Amino acid sequence: MRRSRAEWAHLVRRFLGAIDDRAPSDAAQREVRALLTAPEWWMWSCMSGRDRRHSLEVLARFDEAGVRADREVRAAVLLHDAGKTSSGLGLWMRVIATLVGPRGRRLTAYHDHETIGARQARDLGVDDGVLAVLDGRAEKDILLRLRLADDT
């Protein structure tokens, strides 16, 4: 797969930010806890520190874009990568998965994390408004804004 310079720059920025696996600050975690329901909080808490910090960065960019979003949409933004936990991949294997694509069970699970995360959320009884974003049924503008906030 051939990537543009912009795509490579994005991947390098993401890698550099992912080296650090510290959890978000206690204050940030309290804010997230106040936003999420119990099942959503459990899903978010299972994510790696780097993925939880990334989800907060994506939510900040999403909010900065001026999108008027209800609690369910904002919760979905925080959970957009929750399915990555199912792959069990660490940082270096994620790099390999990104470079070589979906090969084998674990690398494929990493690439299918959105579908997996939506299924996990559904199984936990997460609100339909959250599920609509996670499984791509939400308004196109919301889905586009999430994609843009995630790809920045």
Global pTM value: 0.85
What pLDDT was estimated at residue 56?
97
Provide long-range contacts, Cβ within 8 A and 24+ apart, for 114-118.
114/80, 114/83, 115/83, 116/83, 116/86, 117/43, 117/79, 117/80, 117/81, 117/82, 117/83, 117/84, 118/83
- Structural contact between residues 134 and 141, judged by C-beta atoms closer than 8 angstroms: no
Q: Which of 134, 152, 137, 145 shows the shortest CA–CA distance to 76?
A: 134
Q: What is each CA distance from 29 to 45, 52, 102, 106, 126, in whole angstroms? A: 9, 9, 32, 29, 19
What pLDDT was estimated at residue 144?
95
What pLDDT was estimated at residue 102?
87
Distance CA 125, CA 102 (A): 29
What pLDDT was estimated at residue 1?
63
What pLDDT was estimated at residue 136?
95
What pLDDT was estimated at residue 12?
77
pLDDT in tens, the chain (152 residues): 688 888 788 777 777 777 767 889 999 999 999 999 999 999 999 999 999 999 999 999 999 988 779 999 999 999 999 999 989 988 888 888 988 898 899 998 888 899 999 999 999 999 999 999 999 999 999 999 999 999 86
